[in-house]
Structures are given as C-alpha cells and as structure tokens.
Structure 1
Amino acid sequence: MKKHIPNLITLLNLLSGCIAVIFAVNDNLEYAAYFVFLGIFFDFFDGFAARALKVQSELGLQLDSLADMVTSGVVPGIAMYQMLQWSTGDVVPDGNAYEGISDLNLVPVIGLLITLASAYRLANFNIDTNQTSSFIGLPTPANTLLILSFPLILQFENGDGLHAFILNKWFLIGLTLVSSYLLNAKIPLFALKFKTYGFRTNAVRYIFLILAVCMAVTMQFIAIPFIIVLYVVLSVLANRLKW
C-alpha cells in the first residue's frame, strides 16, 4: 500500500495543475497561481515521500514529469499568453475585450514557447543521469514561480510605473525568451536536497534559504523574481568557488 502514496501525491500535483489551467484559460491568473503553488508543494513532497518510504520507481519518475508538464509547463505558457494579450490591448486584466481590436494577433502565442521549452526540459531530465543530485538548467517549478509571480505583483502591488513595466510587450517577450533559454541552458544549479545538515557542505543552500526568507518577508510577491535570480547567481558562484 505504501508504494502508492508518492504516486497519489503526484496525482494531487496533476489535479492542482488541471484546476490552474481552468483558471488561467478563464483569465484568472491569481487563482491559477495559487493552485500552481499548491501543485509545486505536492511536487516537492512526492519525491520526499518516495525516498522516505523507499518506494522510488520508474513509474513514479514518469508520472512526476507528466504532472509537472501540466502544472509547470502548460500553466505558465497560458499565463504568459494572457499577459501578452493584456500588453497588446486585446484584453485587459479583468477579462474585458477592447472594441475594434482584431482577433488575429499572434504576439501572445509567443508565450507558449515556455510550454514547449518546459516539455523539452522535462523529457531531457528523464534521460539525463547527470541530474540526480543537482540540476542542469532552471527546474520547471522554479521557472513557473517566476512567471506566475508577475500576475500576483500586478494584483497586489501598487504603482503605475511597476504595472506599466510588467505589461510592456517587449519585457514579456524578453522574459519568455530568457526563461525558455534558462530551462535548457547548460548551467549547473544546486538542488535543495540535504544529504547532511552541516553548514560547510550545505553553505550555498543555507545562504540561499536565509536570503530568500528575508526577501520574501520584506518584499512579498515582488521578491519571487529576485529569489529566482538569486538562485541562479548563487549556483554559478558555488560552481566557480567550489562551495
């Protein structure tokens, strides 16, 4: 019976992702983000449960990637599609269409590059034996947190300048291209897996967690993009300094 527990948790990740898709398609990116966060929570604990119960399996690995494809692949692509629609004037954040705007606008479709890049990364991850204790390229959940943070910033953070910056078409296109690149870049990134709890062997992890918590407390949703950047920067430094 215990061998099914991690797979059940993975299916909860998939369920959360499916609900997030429904909200994202209906232009409610706030609730889509909440269910994505819930899915990522389940995604973290399914692997933890499998290791703790010693029931890791090839089925679980494949199921995990399929669930991630929805939660951390399809949803961020749709979210970027919607934000690009907002930026080009096809719709506004409350879902109301502007009159006189042509329905034929291919610019928002660029956002779906995130979904394609996520699919490629997940497929490559399953056959790459070099990513057991660390990552090569940005993990899809981290990239999804990055993308879904921007609708939350628009929803909860005040500032016309900030909103105008986020809803700039070229910023969103640039973010799409950068995130799609980082997903499959040959950049070694540390994993938040503790084999031991000593500071010397986990210095980069402890530094990251402390700074991330401080940033989250002081900056709230605005902190999320900076935390992802911090993750990449610390990984690069850790590799160069041999932390």
Structure 2
Amino acid sequence: MIDAIKKGVKIFIPVLHEKHWFLIVISRKKDTIYILDSLPCKSREAVICGILETLQKLGKESIAGSQYICEVLDVQRQGNKYIYCPVLFQGEWIVACCVFSSSNQVHVFCHKDTLASVKPFCIDLGAKANSALKRCGYNQVKFPDRKVAYTGTNIKVNDSAFASMYFIENFGTSGEIHFNRFLEKNDEVKDEFIKDVKLGLLPYLLNHKNNTGTVPNEISELIKKNKRT
C-alpha cells in the first residue's frame, strides 16, 4: 500500500461493510480521503477512522508527514428507502411500510377511524423487521417499539385497495404533494379522485398480459362452429 500511495495521484478503495458497498477515494495531491456512500450510517465511521489512522501512520513513515483529512461527498442517496407491506386488515386494505432514514420509523396508511386497532399490528411488524434485519447483519437499523407514523384518509373501505395503490406510488416521491387529497373532507374531491384511479388502474390491470389466458382448442373450435351456424 505504501508504494501505491507514493505512485498514485488517486487511490480507489471499494469497501464492503455490513453487506453494503461504499467507495473511499484517497487523493495524494490534496491529502484528503473522500467518502462516497449512498446509504450512510454511524457504524461505518469506525471503518473510515481506521483507514484514516492507517494513512496517518503511513504518511509519517513514507510521505514526509502528510496529514490526511476526511471529506464526505454528496452522492445520490439509495432509492430503496421503503419496504411496503399492503395488508388486508379487518376488511380494509392498509399499507404498513418500514422507512429507512436518519430516524427509522414504521409508517402506516389507513382510514382515520382504524388507527387505534392498526397501531399494535404495526408496532409488532416493526419489532419483527428489527429481528430480521439484525439476522442479516444490519445492526444499525432499529424501528421504534412504541411510535408509529401515520397518514390518514377518509376513503371508503370498499375503495381502500385503490387508495393503497396510490399511496405506494406517491409516498416519498415528488407526487406526494397531491396526496393531500386523501386528507380532504370534501367528499366530492375524494369521489373524483377514486373515479380517476379506477379509470386508470382498473382497465390496466384487467388488460395486462399476465391477466389474460387462452381457452382450450376444443372450445375455440366449438365457438367457431357456433358462429358459422
């Protein structure tokens, strides 16, 4: 590594930490370590500090006392920040989702009158997600054991499946601003929204290639004969 630092202007070090890859770039010219990480977390700081200390020692031994500094570069954050769990809960379609952020949380979308009965289910879901993630080596993720974030709606139970689809499509995106329509008290606004969703989604689902099938040849022949007669 000493020779590499002596010769290289920039040295690229891909690091696999807790099943996640991030990149360290060492710049000899600027005596700087650049960190590029799409999913930053506190547990990686120890890894970076270890590399920084090693470079400081190498610098004293071979690069005339260079003192490296650390700089975290802005990179596009990892897109998959949510795990969505659509659930048919007591006859209503709700969406419970695990949100990975600086403050990890379980977020639920359901009817305003349903929250009290949905909340214990979501807390239990968060606890199970904690256990599953820990088994996979993601020790830095922990969902709260009592608190649940919430988006409420007045959409009728019969239309909850369409409302849940819309929530999954827009939650955490630039389209989320339109999601305020769920919170409207005006039934006319809600009914118009559901009408739009039904007109757009229902024909798409019904006509999707995975939703079509063919009848047996014998039946096709009978249909053809019927048409002739």
TM-score tier after normalising by the smaller chain length: under 0.3
Larger RCO (alpha carbons 8 Å, 6+ apart): 1
What is the TM-score normalised by the length of structure 2? 0.26
What is the TM-score normalised by the length of structure 1? 0.25
Pick the structure with greater CA Rg. Answer: 2
Greater helix content: 1
